[in-house]
Chains A and B, each alone.
Chain A
Amino acid sequence: MSLFEDIPVDVGIIYEGERIRGRDMQIELGGPREDYKFELVRAREMDEIEDGKITIIGKDLDELDEGTNTAFGLFIEVAGEEIEKDLEGVIERRLHEYVNFIEGFMHLNQRYDIQMRLSKKSYKKGFTSLKILGEILIRLYKSELPFIEKMQVSIITDPEKVKEMYQEALEIYESRDARARGMSDDEVDVFYGCSLCQSFAPTHLCVITPQRYANCGAISWFDGNATAKVDPKGPVFEIPKGALIDAVTGEYEGVNQVIREKSLGEIERVQLYTGFGYPHTSCGCFEGCAFWIPEVDAYGVVHRNFKEKTVNGLDFVTISDLTAGGRQVDGFHGLSIEYMRSPKFMQADGGWDKVVWIPQDIMDRTKEFMPPEIIPKIATENDVSNLDELKKWLRDKNHPIVDTWKPEEAPKPIAEAQPQIMSQQMPMTGFTMPSLELPASALPIQGLPQGVNLKIILKNVKIRAEKVIIRAEKE
């Protein structure tokens, strides 16, 4: 028996991409023409709510005029043994997906900015009450997230009531965000691992902590918590973080152990807050990439959507190619934008003080979380277009990195930052290419006493090579 047999429209993943255009629309709930709209999930105690209860406050669908819009609030309360307050945001964000699963329903944006549309077609099929929406949501939630034991839904279209609850909702979002951002890696015992990308990058494992989002920017520690609860055997799982090895670089015994196991020994150690030494590996779908600029002894960061060349003349594609595929490459580090909002961002390398260049778009998105004094000192593509200009900019703005340069202004890299491409290529298992490389020590030339020069005399020598390959190799 189908889960939705008694529902007048179909519900399924196949409707996810459905768009409802203005003229096909029966009603718009929220949206840009309404000042007040929200969706909110709250965790309650088991005895505080009545499972399955759906309340409509204000007009229902059949009382609203065709083609119009209305103020709209969707308020969901859940309870369950395993439900913590921290899960509210995770549960709430599923709404986007779930509402889009409904045939003839479209959902855009989130929180206080939602826009939902019901199609005329689905209305005519019998989707004439918001109770049906509540009913579908309860069934979807309970079947995908079994830790939800009780759920009740209130749907509000009464403008006054929406306005009133909207204010409350804003406060809740804000405190939730503050809590999420205030949460530190030190105060939890478990991190989450995500091996989803191993299908593309077999040695990669994302370690998701409260202060380090997954590289793709899509999975927070809270998401990890919920996902692991639903499917403990799935690709997102708990990592007991174990004993702290180094607080500055972010190295934990438990993390190392899991990494070793999941990468089949390829990766030995991971330090979470650095781009050097044992950096977190990079998958293939990271949002942004930090890249070391040896000329100024600091990082630039570039993101996926930046189509131009960065300040060192390389574009995102080239930079990300240097580190993608589950490798640890000094100075080239895949990351999420959210991680850039974290106080632990590249902490071991000097954090924001070691960042000298980012695209304007990243600047706009992370500004709020950067130390205020550094903001005007970091250059974007609008300020400089090459390394010479960058150096001048940094000096003019007195970026903290300048103080670390030697007086003659020849910046000394803190570590060898050139990607060692030869050694970091994934081995081609099973094939060894014949090569004629003599270790330097094998040459007798080194054994000569000081002051004695070697002279080679070649006479009537014929050298015949079928093929000579001249290959540029970086040291």
Chain B
Amino acid sequence: MRHIISIQLFNYGRRQRRTLSKKDLNIKIDELESSLGTIKGLEIQIGRITDEEWEEPMGPTPFPSVGTFRDWDKKLLNRYKPFYMPLCDLCCLCTYGKCDLTGDKKGACGIDQKAQQSRIVLLACCIGASTHTAHARHMLNHLLEEFGRDYLLDVALNTNVEAPHIRLVCGYKPKTIGDLEEALDYVETQLVQLTAAAHTGQEGDNLDFESKAFHAGMLDHVAMEIADISQISTLGFPKGVSEAPLAQMGFGSIDTKKAVVMCIGHNVLPSVDIIDYLMEHDLFDKVEIGGLCCTAHDNTRYDNRAKILGPISWQLRYVRSGIPDLVVIDEQCIRLDIVEEAEKIGAPVIATSEKSMMGLPDRTHDDPDAIVADLVSGRQKGVVILEPRKVGEVVVKTAMAVSPKRKEFKEPSKEKLFENMEKCRGCLECVMACPNNLPIMDAVKACAEGDLSLLSELQPLCVGCGRCESACPEDLSIISYMYAASADQCKDECFQVRVGSGAITDVEIREVGRGIVFGEIPGILALVGCANYPKGGGEVAKIAEEFLKRRFIVLATGCSAMDLATTLDEEGQNLYEQYPGVFDAGGLVNVGSCVSNSHITGATIKIANIFAKRPLRANYEEIADYVYNRVGAVGIAWGAMSQKAASIAAGCWRLGIPVIVGPHGSKYRRNLLGRKDKEEDWITLDARTGDDMYIGPVPEHLFYAAETIEEAIVMTAKLSMRPNDTTKGRAVKLSHYIDLSKKYYGTMPDDLELFVRGESDLPFTMKVELLEYLKKKGWEEGKIGMPDPTLLDRMIRRKK
């Protein structure tokens, strides 16, 4: 038998791909004879070959486009209608404007106030999601180059569901870091569509803008997941809580006798090469590497000898302390006057990302020693270096050379720091400029007269924005005064922070299952986000402690995870030391940096997938419906500041997870508030019968700006209720709601009757008094239903 086979393979893919997805494959067979038959001139052209090992059938919505979940979003948005709080009544995005949109006025393009506010929400979410996506792209490109496309993903111990968001949204199961690219391509493509929708003369309906903002949020969580699981897999980060050691944070964690490198931002790559350089040259005893904002978390995940200097709000304070010998910036949340500020203390700046070059000269291709010489001599106040290896070398060499020359800056005298204080005119401009109205002027005046206490008390409340200094007609260095007034205590402060654990493992998810089903665990609380607090970071610790004591599972990320470490009990222990670092009732887990937020939503997705075996693959609506109706998770971004915080929250909303923000959060322009007084808004389907059922206002709001932590705490307890709660679960949740209401408001909740479905929901220790109360309110048993709740008609189970 004759075999003449000629196969030509063409691969037009962007790059040679050796695994999983292959694009554009052509096979040509000129002649083939076999026992089965003869083939002549066969050409096969295949657009894409996907080698699938995932046996779960494809769900309904792989790679959803902008409008795919519009119906689902509208179900939520009809229950939680946007409540607008315009921060600005004008639109000035095109040259027709400025257009006044107050009252029923429309802009020149026809837009009204509601649509304009939602449009700004969409833009914020697009910026936020793009930021994480760009971060993920930078990370992934670098890691692909360094580790190769076939490097296996290894995200968490005892975990099969390695990427819940990618599985849920995109509908495929990545195995290697190369496989992440398809999801990232998709996210980038979608974000362009969303940004385009905000152009003048495109989308015009406020709820459609909102739905698009939700879409941006959903994409954001995919992007964050890509960024984090790629770095966890390749860089040896902890793979779960059991692997997460403690790291040190605060002024006292830094040995100022060493050269001090201060890394600001979110992208760990430059720091990795600095740490590698320190290890390779055995220089850890000569150089301290400290981080601010999320880079700090990821540095400690890479090597817990790295230090956390503090949250974003401590940037100016650190620079003014004179401690840093060199500042490295990567991306996001960097103070834009950092070069100017660093110059004042003789510290060079090295920028490492194309996204944040700060006007500095690009020296990527120059000889490292030449760059070091220019920086040490002061010929250049800073440089851009985009090649991480070179960053490592230049940073360490420069810091070590600069450090001995900076003695005069390193420990600035009190006189120097307090310079010009007596010039304060008492004009109150500083107080007016302060976002939190802190009594700065009185404190400065008192300090000038020798009483440091007022200024020292302001320090922990200050968000470090520096607007007071900008506003001051005498150009007084108020931030420096504040630091100087409390420098003596600051210097010794050293807090323990549990290193970011990354994803919640499948085993942990299963372990808490019983607790959640039986109501022994009243809820999951995630404390996330930035440090724009109304009254300092100590409030985050207060919130965390309140719920840890009540056996909630408490998770934290980013700056919140740092701030909650700064409150100590009488024995000098903080919450990380007092409470176990486990994903379980009464446990406190630092999940990691901003991009680790994807693991918090990922955990709720995994609860649906692992417990109830709800199909995960490209099955977003069903999973969101499950999380919304059943998983008592609440997010608090007490100091939410950024556009990233907006898009992270939007990703929670689409999944049905309520989010509470601090008072500054109202500047996001709208809340998503439910109306508990409107019974018709709270009708849900019973999946067992298909009947409509009134379920009471649970959870009452989807996005809520609280004015005080007391309000946030009571609201958290309330928002942890779900229609699916078992009677025991509801009893436990009601106990906390009632107790917290009594504790912080001094009174019983005034809406209790909306949450009690039957007598068995009542905490039995309070049954007698509650029944009396309910009687007065005209409560009837059974008015509120206990369905198998769903908002999706297709989830109704038809009896066989």
Interface residues of A (CB under 8 A from B): 1-4, 11-14, 16-18, 101, 140, 143-144, 196-202, 216, 218, 231, 233-235, 264-266, 283-285, 304, 307, 315-318, 320-321, 324-327, 421-422, 425-426, 428-431, 433, 453-474
Contact = CB atoms under 8 A, between A and B. Distances in A.
B732 interface: yes
B57 interface: yes
A266 B765 CA distance: 39
Contacts of A264: 688, 797, 799-800
B797 A429 contact: yes
Nearest to A16: B551
B662 to A, nearest CB: 25
A470 B60 contact: no
B42 A458 contact: yes
Contacts of B766: 2-3, 12
A18 B40 contact: no
A202 B795 CA distance: 11
B159 to A, nearest CB: 7
A76 B245 CA distance: 46
B228 interface: no
Contacts, number: 227
A200 B517 contact: yes
Contacts of B101: none
A422 B760 contact: no
Contact of B760 (A234, A454, A461): A234
Interface string B30-56: 000001111111111111111111111
B727 A234 contact: yes
B435 interface: no
B341 interface: no
Contacts of B507: 304, 307, 316-317
B612 A325 contact: yes
B40 to A, nearest CB: 5
B764 A265 contact: no
Contacts of B36: 454-456
Contacts of B615: 425-426, 428
Interface string B508-539: 00110110111000000000000000000000
A471 B724 contact: no
B764 A231 contact: no
Question: Which 7 pairs show the lowest CB-CB distances between chains A and B?
Answer: A430-B794, A325-B613, A265-B800, A284-B611, A456-B37, A466-B47, A285-B514
B123 to A, nearest CB: 34
B549 interface: yes
B658 interface: no
B470 interface: no
B414 interface: no
B246 interface: no
Given A16-B551, A285-B513, A464 B45 contact: yes
A12 B766 CA distance: 8
A324 B611 contact: yes
A324 B506 CA distance: 13
Interface of B: 35-60, 157-160, 506-507, 510-511, 513-514, 516-518, 549-551, 585-586, 610-615, 619, 622, 630, 687-688, 724, 726-727, 731-732, 735-736, 739, 760, 763-769, 772, 788, 792-797, 799-800
B765 A13 contact: yes
A185 B615 CA distance: 36
B685 to A, nearest CB: 12
A457 B47 contact: no
B793 A430 contact: yes
Nearest to A23: B571
Interface centre among A422, A471, A472 (most CB of B within 10 A): A471
B767 A458 contact: no
Given A3-B768, A466-B47, A474-B55, A201 B586 contact: no
B726 A461 contact: no
Contacts of B46: 464-468
Contacts of B630: 199-200
B612 A202 contact: yes
B13 to A, nearest CB: 14
Secondary structure at chain B's binding surface: helix, strand, loop or mixed?
Answer: mixed
B170 to A, nearest CB: 14
Given A3-B766, A307-B507, A461 B517 contact: no
A270 to B, nearest CB: 16
A196 B619 CA distance: 25
20 contacts: A17-B585, A196-B517, A196-B518, A199-B788, A201-B612, A201-B613, A264-B688, A284-B510, A284-B610, A285-B510, A304-B507, A317-B158, A425-B57, A457-B38, A458-B38, A460-B41, A462-B44, A465-B44, A468-B50, A471-B55
Contact of B739 (A12, A233, A235, A469): A12
B417 to A, nearest CB: 41
Nearest to A466: B47
Contact of B52 (A143, A199, A321, A470): A470
B24 to A, nearest CB: 10
A460 B39 CA distance: 8
Nearest to A219: B518
Contacts of A265: 799-800
A27 B47 CA distance: 76
A459 B41 CA distance: 6
A277 to B, nearest CB: 19
A220 to B, nearest CB: 15
B506 A317 contact: yes
A216 B585 CA distance: 17
A93 to B, nearest CB: 15
Given A101-B765, A200-B513, A304-B510, A321 B160 contact: yes
Contacts of B772: 1
B49 A13 contact: no
B788 A202 contact: yes
B98 to A, nearest CB: 48
A428 B60 contact: yes
Interface centre among B57, B516, B794 (most CB of A within 10 A): B57
A453 B46 CA distance: 30
A421 B55 contact: yes
Nearest to B61: A431
A128 to B, nearest CB: 22
Contacts of B794: 429-431
A427 to B, nearest CB: 9
Contacts of A144: 764
A463 B510 contact: no
Contacts of B614: 325, 426
A462 B27 CA distance: 10
A210 B85 CA distance: 61
Nearest to A307: B158
A310 to B, nearest CB: 12
Given A18-B549, A196-B517, 5 more contacts: A14-B739, A317-B507, A426-B615, A454-B36, A458-B42
Contacts of B513: 200, 284-285
Contacts of B56: 421, 425
A144 B795 CA distance: 36
A457 B41 CA distance: 11
Contacts of A283: 611
Contacts of A433: 57-58, 60
Contacts of A421: 55-56
Nearest to B795: A429
A422 B619 CA distance: 16
A266 B688 CA distance: 12
B800 A467 contact: no
Nearest to A316: B507
Contacts of B585: 17
Contacts of B793: 430
A233 B757 CA distance: 13
A216 B514 contact: yes
Contacts of A326: 612-613
B37 A455 contact: yes
